[in-house]
Structure 1
Amino acid sequence: MRIFVAGGTGVLGRPIVEALVDRGHEVVATSQRPEKFSVIEALGARPELMNGLDEATVRQAIGRAEPEVIVNQMTALSAPSRDYATWLAVTNRLRAEGTRTLMAAAREAGTRRVVAQSASFMTQPSGSGPTDEASPLYLDAPEPIRSHVQANTAAETLVLETPGIDGVVLRYGFFYGEGTAVGPDGEWATGVRSGAVPIVGEGTGQYPFVHVRDAVAATVTAVDRGSPGIYNIVDDEPAPQAEWLPYLADILHAPAPGRVSEAEAEEQIGVQAVYYGTQLRAASNAKAKAELGWTLEYPSWREGFRELFG
């Protein structure tokens, strides 16, 4: 099968390319940096130069590849920023503008299926129990959360409603593993080691984590399995901030995390710190398990964290 991976050198893109090649697929993977081509070639794929916000390069790359399936993993999240809105700005454009161009090019190229990245942590904070793929999204959230939710929603609509293409949206949880923010050299782990990541309020926000390897397995499975639609790709055990932060600190032999009030968190970090730390609801992975036949190597972040940092 000819598969086109948009964003083939990122934390998730690179192992996806490797896994698809290992399965015997003919893979074309993109980067907007020519110096990354050797990475793609070493994985056994063919590199293509593509800027997801440049319509001409998107149409040219997809037109040359004529892929049966496109896996869209384009983001701009690798470089951390202290300003949340600035950090998300290019990714928001890639979701909305980039996806529009990609889906149009996919239709022109005769692509039959598109598997695209989204996020599971953007649901309304009201309600009880785990959310699922039909739960209301936080479309009226305060900025900068609102812009990110709206960009993801726009991308999801394009993927699911483009005529002639089976669209699959994977709403990933918070990644952890090598190369991620929650990895040995990642921003979160570094912050926990230094005592700079506090628990917000009561720390009741239920983080949906997923190990990179499990996210890759779900993505590769979705290439040729599962009905079109949305799937939460999260592990089995929601992680309250008041539990996972001290747990990680203990593994890292770091100081116990401090606490800040919601008002202090909003002033010092931003409204997203309050949403994630106190309001985020758990997400269910039941649909992905049932319809994709997805099984997790790391059902719980507890065992995953311990293996990763142990």
Structure 2
Amino acid sequence: MKVFLAGASGALGCPLIRRLHDAGHEVWGLAHRPESLEIIERLGAHSVKGDALNQVDIFELIERIRPEVVIDQLTSLPTSPVDLAQRLPADCRLRLEGGGHLFEAARMFQVRRYIQQLSGFYLDGGTGLANEASPLRINAPGTIGDSARMYASLEKRISSVQSMVCIGLRYGFFYGPGTWYWPDGAFSRHLHQGEIALIGKGSSSFSFIHVDDAAQAAVAALTVPSGIYNIVDDQPSKMSDWLPAYAKWIGADAPPCLDEREGLRLSGEESVYYQNSLSGACNHKARAMLGFSPRRLPWFN
């Protein structure tokens, strides 16, 4: 298949290009910066210079290339999670406006299949794990609610058309090379510097996913029916369990503990919510429909 990949040079884009190439697909990777275009070429894909926020650019590219599949992995995330609040408006604009241009161009030029990156970590599973019918936490405080509302808009977008097969991949928290959650990643650096504390009971449940496993799922999504799929690992784990295990894995000291009152005073409502209210997610549908088989978390091995 001829695949147009937006967000092709990122932590997920690079392993996705490799897997698409190895599966025999013709990949066209969209990027804006010269160094990103070089990465795409080195990985065996055709590099395409363009700006997703430029509607004319995107329509011209899709009309010229005429892909059978468009994969939207557009993000504009900061190098560190502590800077997310400052970067979020730009990230939302790229995904909603830039992704909107990509989506409309795909519809206009009769792309057969559209695959959309979504969130599997701001879902509301109630007292259990979230499934594909679970809603996003659109009323959560701060950037959690802002992000959830953005992802809800993306889910609504791909469910609004019948002319394309639309797949939504709800990814867990990414870990692996090039991500925040890796020995040389930003989260690890903050842990080493003693800047991360465990707040309250740490009762939030987190679902992670290795970027290469996420790429495997995206390739499998080239042949599955329309719908939403939770792309998360098999080990949803409480913050109180995975955070100290992660610290030990990277050789950092165990994080200090704060009660909720002190956490609220020092870090704010959003941090307390983040560590104590999130739901993990269930991947049974992806396992059954995509042949999905994620690896085990390295900090629990």
Query: How far 1:103 sits from its partner (Å)?
Result: 1.1
- Which aligned segments of 4 or more residues in structure 1 are displaced greater than 6 angstroms? none
User: Which amino acid in structure 2 is aligned with residue 199 of structure 1?
Assistant: L
User: Which amino acid in structure 1 is aligned with residue 47 of structure 2?
Assistant: P
Matches of 1:262 and 1:172 in 2, distance apart? 28
Matches of 1:220 and 1:275 in 2, distance apart? 34
Query: How far 1:197 sits from its partner (Å)?
Result: 1.1
The residue aligned with 2:299 is 305
Query: How far 1:270 sits from its partner (Å)?
Result: 4.2
How many residues are paired up?
301
Question: 1:236 pairs with 227, 234, 237, which one?
Answer: 234
Query: How far 1:276 sits from its partner (Å)?
Result: 2.3
Matches of 1:7 and 1:268 in 2, distance apart? 35
Segments of structure 1 that go 5 or more residues without pairing to the other structure are none
Matches of 1:268 and 1:17 in 2, distance apart? 42
User: Which amino acid in structure 2 is aligned with residue 260 of structure 1?
Assistant: L
When the two structures are superposed, what TM-score results if normalisation uses the length of structure 2?
A: 0.94
The residue aligned with 1:56 is 56
Matches of 1:280 and 1:154 in 2, distance apart? 20
The SS at the match of 1:144 is helix
The residue aligned with 1:155 is 154
**Counterpart check, 1:115 vs 2:109:** no
Matches of 2:82 and 2:45 in 1, distance apart? 35
The residue aligned with 1:256 is 254
Superimposed CA distance per residue, residues 58-95 of structure 1 (whole angstroms, 9 cap, x where no aligned partner): 21222221110011111011433634322222221122
Conserved 8 A contact 1:71-1:114: yes
The residue aligned with 2:10 is 10
The residue aligned with 1:92 is 92
Correspondence 1:56-75 to 2 at 5 A: 56-75=56-75
Matches of 2:134 and 2:127 in 1, distance apart? 11
Cα RMSD for the two superposed structures: 1.7
> Aligned residues: percent identity?
37
Change (3 A) 1:266 1:33: farther
Conserved 8 A contact 1:26-1:45: yes
The residue aligned with 2:192 is 193
Deviates more, 1:285-294 or 1:52-61: 52-61
Superimposed CA distance per residue, residues 207-227 of structure 1 (whole angstroms, 9 cap, x where no aligned partner): 111111111111111122x21
Query: How far 1:228 sits from its partner (Å)?
Result: 0.6
Query: How far 1:253 sits from its partner (Å)?
Result: 2.6
Conserved 8 A contact 1:92-1:152: no
Matches of 1:265 and 1:65 in 2, distance apart? 52
Matches of 2:262 and 2:67 in 1, distance apart? 49
Matches of 1:150 and 1:165 in 2, distance apart? 24
Matches of 1:25 and 1:87 in 2, distance apart? 33
The residue aligned with 2:210 is 211
Superimposed CA distance per residue, residues 95-134 of structure 1 (whole angstroms, 9 cap, x where no aligned partner): 2222221111001121010111011112237x21111111
User: Which amino acid in structure 2 is aligned with residue 88 of structure 1?
Assistant: L
Change (3 A) 1:265 1:109: farther
Change (3 A) 1:278 1:100: same
User: Which amino acid in structure 1 is aligned with residue 274 of structure 2?
Assistant: Y
Conserved 8 A contact 1:49-1:61: no
Conserved 8 A contact 2:16-2:212: no
Segments of structure 2 that go 5 or more residues without pairing to the other structure are none
